[in-house]
Amino acid sequence: MRRLLPLAFLACALPLAAQQVVPAPAADALDCEACPLLALVPPGNFQLGSAPDAAELDPATGESPPVAISLARPFYVSSREITVAEFRRYVEATGADPTPGCRVWLDGQWVQEPERSWRDPGFALPPADDEPVVCVNWDDAHAYADWLARESGRRYRLPSEAEWEYVARGGTSFPRFWGERDSQEGVALSLACDHANVYDSSAVDAYHLPWPNARCSDRAVALAPVAQYQPNAFGVYDIIGNVREWVMDCYTASHAGRPDDGRAWTWQGGCERKVVRGGSWASRPRDARAPARGSEAAALRQSDLGFRVVRDYE
């Protein structure tokens, strides 16, 4: 087991809202044999959401106006999306195998397929162990995090929406950690494919999705193995693209009124719709940004929807 607390890294942590320089990421850490690799995220301040005049703003999702968030403590995040192999280990240990039934892209639309599941999400090839697990709903993801907590004795959970966006920005104020404007939908050549698996030129012929694609090739028609693209400054891979990711929060029509300390926004009794973040292999460029928000029914299983976990700093 690796030592988890690089104090020098924490000492370098700076408020991140006004500048683009961040400390070098700490080495990945591992809590237990079954646990995913973790990256240590420093504390800091940032603006959650988008300014009203942001170029790619989607007003319907409530990403504007932005709100100031202050994260006073560091935390750990899985540096990669949870993989098929990691999820299989949980299923074999607990017997909690999600029931079949998953929405897949078929004949120009998302279709509920009763036989599809995380074991066979309907792509041309069976899922590889190092691909992100998909066709898991919010409860599946939450149960996996609870299992990690039992296995490790640590506080694992899904990220809050604020924590997720803070990680996705990678210490910048940009909508994409690799640059401010180079991956907008109108650009002639996008840099997205060096950093993310999104709907790109390599996927157009296969899927013919009815929205714009990134002007580049990421070499993946659908899912890509985790950690194939460049990480952000926190050492986190695929935080934009590959699969959309469940977070802890209930979905709300705006950020107004949410906790300003980064906690998840939930309420007693739960909620039917949860926030999803990050875009996927099927996402148009506008939806593959740090501040872009989406929501899905908590019971949904879909072939572009997975998750990652965080672990509280202790």
Q: What is the pLDDT of residue 4?
A: 37
Residues 1-17 pLDDT 10s = 333 333 334 333 444 43
293-297 and 273-277 as β-strands: parallel, antiparallel, unpaired?
antiparallel
277 - beta bridge partners? 245, 293
Q: What is the pLDDT of residue 27?
A: 56
* N- to C-terminal Cα separation, the chain: 16
Q: What is the pLDDT of residue 268?
A: 87
- Give the C-alpha distances (Å, rounded to integers) separating 124 from 154, 223, 267: 38, 11, 40
Contact 310, 75 (CB under 8 A): yes
Q: What is the pLDDT of residue 274?
A: 98
Q: What is the pLDDT of residue 189?
A: 85
Tokens coding 294: 């989406």
Contact 36, 133 (CB under 8 A): no
Structural domains of the chain in order of their starting residue, each with its CATH number? 7-312 (3.90.1580.10)
In this structure, the number of other CB atoms found within 10 A of the CB of residue 191 comes to 17
Q: What is the pLDDT of residue 205?
A: 87
| Long-range Cβ contact pairs of 265-270 (< 8 A, separation 24 or more) | 265/160, 265/161, 270/298
Q: How large is the angle between the packed helices 138-152 and 84-94, nearest 10 degrees?
A: 70
Residues 180-222 pLDDT 10s = 888 999 888 899 999 999 999 989 988 999 999 999 999 999 9
Q: What is the pLDDT of residue 150?
A: 97
Tokens coding 216: 């580049």
Give the separation between CA 301 and CA 16, rounded to whole angstroms: 35
Give the separation between CA 233 and CA 236, rounded to whole angstroms: 7
Q: What is the pLDDT of residue 250?
A: 97
Q: What is the pLDDT of residue 3?
A: 33
Instruction: Note the pTM of the prediction, 2 decimals.
Output: 0.91
Residues 59-78 pLDDT 10s = 999 999 999 999 999 999 99
Give the separation between CA 162 and CA 264, rounded to whole angstroms: 7
Q: What is the pLDDT of residue 21?
A: 42
Q: What is the pLDDT of residue 26?
A: 54
Handedness of CA 277, 178, 214, 130 (dihedral sign): negative
Give the separation between CA 256 and CA 161, rounded to whole angstroms: 13
Residue 226 neighbours by CB under 8 Å, 6+ apart? 80, 81, 83, 130, 131, 132, 237, 238, 242
Give the separation between CA 83 and CA 128, rounded to whole angstroms: 9
The list of the chain residues with pLDDT below 50 reads 1-24
Residue 59 neighbours by CB under 8 Å, 6+ apart? none
